[in-house]
Structure 1
Amino acid sequence: MEFKLVDKLDSEYQVEIIPCFEDYEISRYSDIFNKIKNQGLFEGKIGTKYSLNQNDVNGISTLVFVGIGKKDELTYDSWYKSLVSLFEKMKINLLKNILFYSFECDNLNIKNMLKGIILSFSAANYKFDRYMTTKLGETEVKIDIYTNKSEDLDELLNIRDAINLTRDLVNEPSNILTPEEFGNRCIEQVKGLDVEINVYDENWIKENNLNALYEVGKASVNKPRFIVMKYFGDKQSDKTISFVGKGLTYDSGGYSIKSSDGMVTMKCDMAGAASVLSLIILLAKQNLKINVFGVIPTCENMINGNGFKPGDVIGSLSGKTIEIISTDAEGRLALADGVYYAAKNLNSDLIIDIATLTGACGIALGTKYAAIIDNDESIFNKLNDASKNTVDSIWRLPGDKEYLSTLKSDIADYKNIGGRYGGTITAGLFVGEFTLGKPWAHIDIAYVAWNDFSTKIFPKKGATGAVVELLYNFCKNSQ
């Protein structure tokens, strides 16, 4: 698909899309809009549309009036969702060109208006069909956006590509995207960019005492990897941020085995790692003036005679010991080594980990919000600011240290789960114990990274690409 800004109407289009406020006169085709409005056929209410075929308007195949509600109530969220609904229902594969009329109002500037068009179109038309013998069909339509404003689309298209890369990686079957292959993909994706990368194998992991990661991954024939990416966009500064992404390319639950239904989608347990890779690529493409490290502990949690077991005590890079209560609480173990490496070896000033960590997150917040646990409210405030004018929603949960008492073990420094209650909080706090007290935030994306059903934000099953734009905005605001 191709997007272009135009300030002249020199071409004929198969479809023209005209956004319409419920309470505000439109400048284009106002006579037609007023006619259908007076007839009670269309009023511009949010989420509605009205189409006229080519017999109604001379020389135009189809006019589509899209309702976007009252002008002072319009938000980026409502704009985006209206367009997802529109684009999902259009037979895009049959079209070659579309004209979209832009607008601007106090609640939605031109850049966010354009972003909504590009990202909603991408969400509605995303396909993962690489393993189908009969493909779903390429979307080759050209979309011209009529505006007299000058705006660079490159950043918006790079954001779209980063989100789609995350979706593609998370949708990959786990027999294809092993830890080794994930490392290879990282190398391939950053090639040609100003990014340093090292992919360390299981021997390095063992020799360098990343024992928690090693224990989780040792039962699989597909051995773990530890991936470190470095982007130095501001060589005049020694300040760095580390993003640590959970990279479980498959999670059976280990000896605390998941149900059959619970295992089917567990290829998605590396969504945090995929978002970190996509973020690093996006930062490098945009040449942001910031220093960022991407850390990915990646492995499979499988079962064999060599696998770790409930009741075991394992070590970690930090030297702290952990009693295993559940082998299905494995992501926090991999993250423990990842965040400690970021704090100690990389000496980062701020650490943010991203993980599909707990089922409890869905119980607490449903499928709309990612959960945040942090040790500094100012970090949450910055993340919250970064979420504005995106469809990435976050909610701060309490990081009360009293919850840590549930992680006390009788035979080791910690247990790896804290019991039935407050599971998202205790899991996050467990990870935070390995950050050496550095400023830190944990983002649990367990129920926003993957769709089991269509939503207004992403109308497909599978990987959503959640929080990539939020993380990018956070970095952009931190320059």
Structure 2
Amino acid sequence: MDLKISYSSKGIENEDVEGLIVFLPEKSDTRAAGLSDLPENLKKIINTAVREEVFNGKTGSSQRLITGSAKPSQLLLIGVGKKEELNPEIIRRAAGGAGKALACSKLKSIGVMLSNVLSTSSSKECGQWISEGLQLGAYEFKSYKSSENNSPKNLKVRILDKDALSSAKAVKLGALRAVSANLARTLGNTPANDMNPGKLAEEAKNLCKTEGLKYKVIEEKEMKKLGMGMLLGVSQGSITPAKLIFMEYRHPEAKDTLAVVGKGVTFDSGGISLKPGKSMDEMKFDMCGSAAVLGAMNAVAKIKPKLNVIGVVPATENLPGGNAQRPGDIVTAYNGKKVEILNTDAEGRLILGDALSYTIEKYNPVAVVDLATLTGACVVALGHHATGALSNHSGFMERIRQAGEKSGDRVWELPNFPEYGELLKGKYGDLQNIGGPAGGTITGGKFLQHFVGDTPWVHLDIAGTAWNVKYVDYHPANGATGVGVRLLIDLISEWRPLN
């Protein structure tokens, strides 16, 4: 469902909406929740529900109530838990639960009450958290459903802020952040027969054309001239050519350039080192790093930060065709290193390596961050609620960590000790593309470090957070999460020179 979210400084009595969302803390009536401006009939209904324990306000709780009036005809009470524990992520998740309820609703318009309980700081950002959560929660991927339910496809949402607790700018920004993450979700959810490297390049080209960004793509013929043996090696098992995609945002006053690189394996069978059949259908999600880059660039074009941003996507399929790369092959990377291929299913680091070294040489960024569904080992280590991170620069890593905390795309830094690099030394070449079963997420990141030189760099392994994440109310029950988009938006929006 598409929510048309807008801001209003009026009260509910001056708005023509069919329903009203009210956020309530645990065991709080309308007075305790800062909702004294509600019409008396609505306060009575809510207070009765609280008093009779129809609704308790605990985190994750919700209750739909009929008002007996024409407008609003329904109330949707959403619990936000204990007042003293409220924070932006709790509010965002509560709004996500409300968004999921709206996706099943037949209402065409709804108001959302802001209250001083929700304004946990003086920054007036609560409108952003709510609009972001609502839009994320209402997301549905129905492009391939032959029959639709009777719910309206569009719903008008008015954020009601009579007490000026937030702003129209905050509400608009929250919606943009969510729409950009939802773009990444849709790219990730699209099946591989409709989202191959060529289709992904078309999506990037169309985005750049619409938003006024510069677009460039390197085709396989040029890759061969440039010596991108790692990217070409992964691609050679597929009849669909690889693409190296660039999206450029430039600001006339910017002094710094940030590069954002996303793994774009549109389907990963494992190649000759074939994956097990179970859940192989989910390997369409192996391009979620690239989807995050497109989602972030969509937002960057509209936010217009004073920072040059280069979005980079190495896009390919990893298939076991007759010409596929073999275990034991040795390829030459763009930066000249000789790499032994011990396992063709460790392909993401290969395509990222060529993309990283070329991007750094060509664009000279002050920092680079890559996002990749790189290792199953990251899921074992961290589960589905933290993205793994590896870095060569503590200051840049801290920026990423802070952006993750603020956005809800949380990250956890892993050790980058030099001893892990010893596991990647090749027998016959400079490097081998796997380091054995121990510390797989770290050695995957250490491999990439060979292609960034001294440039400040953070690697984000999103294998556990990119799809099918449970217990987060603004994420869909199944499918891509859009992880990384909101983190990148926060990182870019608040950019300042690195020390």
Q: Is TM (by shorter chain) over 0.5?
A: yes
Letter in 2 for 1:100: V
2:79 aligned partner: 67
Identify the range of structure 1 (9-18 vs 267-276) with the bigger mean alpha-carbon deviation. 9-18
In 2, distance between residues paired with 1:456 and 1:84? Answer: 5
Counterpart of 2:24, as a letter, is: C
Q: 1:401 to 1:104 in 2, by over 3 A?
A: farther
- Relative to structure 1, the CA distance from residue 141 to residue 462 in structure 2 (aligned partners, 3 Å threshold; closer, same or farther) is same
Over 3 Å counting, the alpha-carbon distance change for 1:58 and 1:164 in structure 2 is closer
Distance in 2 separating the partners of 1:190 and 1:274: 14
**Contact 2:197-2:317 within 8 A present in 1 as well:** yes
- What is the deviation of 1:166? 0.4
User: How many Å apart are 1:354 and its aligned residue?
Assistant: 0.7
Residue 108 of structure 1, CA deviation: 4.9
Alpha-carbon separation, structure 2, partners of 1:176 and 1:87: 28
The question of whether the paired residues in 2 share the 8 Å contact of 1:93 and 1:139 is answered with no
Alignment match, 1:291: 308
What is the distance in 2 between the residues matched to 1:17 and 1:330? Answer: 47
User: Aligned partners of 2:131 and 2:282: how far apart in 1?
Assistant: 28
8 A contact 2:249–2:308 mirrored in 1: yes
Return the alpha-carbon distance in structure 2 between the equivalents of residues 478 and 374 of structure 1.
18
SS in 1 for 2:306: coil
Match of 2:18 among 14, 21, 24: 14
Moved more, 187-196 or 418-427: 187-196
| 1:46 and 2:59 are equivalent in the alignment | yes
Q: Cα offset for 1:58?
A: 7.9
Q: Which residue of 2 aligns with 1:360?
A: 377
CA distance in 2, matches of 1:155, 1:21: 25
Equivalent residue number for residue 369 of structure 1: 386
Partner of 1:83: 95
Distance 1:108 1:442, change over 3 A: same
8 Å CA contact retained: 2:357, 2:452 = yes
Where do 5+ consecutive residues of structure 1 fail to align?
Answer: none
Query: Are 1:101 and 2:113 an aligned pair?
Result: yes
C-alpha separation in 2, matches of 1:217 and 1:158: 34
User: Offset of 1:45 from its aligned partner?
Assistant: 2.7
What do residues 207-243 of structure 1 show as CA deviations (whole Å, max 9, x unaligned)?
111110001001100010111122112x344421111
Counterpart position of 1:131 = 144
Contact 1:123 1:458 in 2 (8 A): yes
Instruction: Give, in whole Å, the separation in 1 of the partners of 2:126 and 2:21.
Output: 14
- Matched residues, percent identical? 31
Using the alignment, how far apart are the partners of 1:359 and 1:407 within structure 2?
Answer: 18
TM-superposed CA distance for 1:139, in Å, is 2.8
The answer as to 2:351 corresponding to 1:334 is yes
Q: Is contact 2:21-2:112 (8 Å) kept?
A: yes
TM-score of the two chains, using structure 2 as the length reference: 0.90
327-336 or 261-270, larger mean C-alpha shift: 261-270
Query: What residue is the counterpart of 1:145 in the other structure?
Result: 159
Contact 2:128 2:173 in 1 (8 A): no
Contact 2:6 2:172 in 1 (8 A): no
CA distance in 2, matches of 1:213, 1:422: 24
Counterparts of 1:126 and 1:457 in 2: how far apart (Å)? 9
Q: Which amino acid aligns with 1:72?
A: E
How far is the alpha carbon of 1:263 from its aligned partner?
1.7
Q: Which of 153, 164, 173 is 2:191 aligned to?
A: 173
Cα distance per residue 1:422-468 (max 9 Å; x no partner) = 10000011001110121111000111111176743413211111110
The aligned counterpart of 2:7 is 5
Q: Is the 8 A contact 1:74 1:108 kept in 2?
A: no
- For 1:30-71, what per-residue CA distance to the aligned partner results, in whole angstroms no more than 9, with x for missing partners? 55444443333334333223443234x686412233222222
* Secondary structure of 1:167's aligned partner: helix
Cα distance 1:67–1:161, how it changes in 2: closer, same or farther (>3 A)? Answer: closer
Equivalent-residue separation in structure 2 for 1:195 and 1:176 (angstroms): 24
Separation of aligned partners in 1, 2:59 and 2:72: 25
Distance in 1 of aligned mates of 2:106 and 2:80: 25
Aligned residue in 1 for 2:181? 163
Amino acid in the other structure paired with 2:88:
Y
CA distance in 2, matches of 1:400, 1:419: 16
Say whether the 8 Å CA contact 1:333–1:416 is kept in structure 2. yes
How far does residue 402 in structure 1 lie from its aligned partner after superposition? 0.9
Specify the code of the residue in structure 2 equivalent to 1:48.
S
1: CA distance, partners of 2:72 / 2:195: 47
State the one-letter code of the partner of 2:100.
Answer: E
* Helix, strand or coil at the partner of 1:249: strand
Whether 2:440 is the aligned partner of 1:426: answer: no
Task: Write the deviation string for residues 2-47 of structure 1: whole angstroms up to 9, x where unpaired.
Answer: 1122233334432222222235343235554444433333343332
- 1: CA distance between counterparts of 2:190 and 2:6? 31
User: 3-state SS of the aligned residue for 1:141?
Assistant: strand
Partner of residue 200 from structure 2, selected from 182, 202, 210: 182
1:458 aligns with 2:475: yes
Equivalent residue pairs, number: 477
Aligned to 2:262: 245
Q: Which moved more, 1:457-466 or 1:314-323?
A: 457-466
Q: TM-score, normalised by structure 1?
A: 0.94
Question: What are the within-5 Å matches in structure 2 for residues 182-221 of structure 1?
Answer: 182-221=200-239
Change (3 A) 1:40 1:160: closer
1:121 aligns with 2:125: no
Secondary structure class of the residue paired with 1:242 = strand
Q: Alpha carbons of 1:58 and 1:141: their partners in 2 closer, same or farther (altered >3 Å)? A: closer
How far, CA to CA, are the matches of 1:130 and 1:454 in structure 2?
A: 25
Unaligned runs of 5+ in 2: none
- Of 397, 408, 414, the match for 2:414: 397
Question: For residues 108 and 448 of structure 1, do their structure 2 counterparts lie closer, same or farther at Cα, with a shift above 3 Å needed?
Answer: farther
What code does the residue aligned with 1:13 have? V
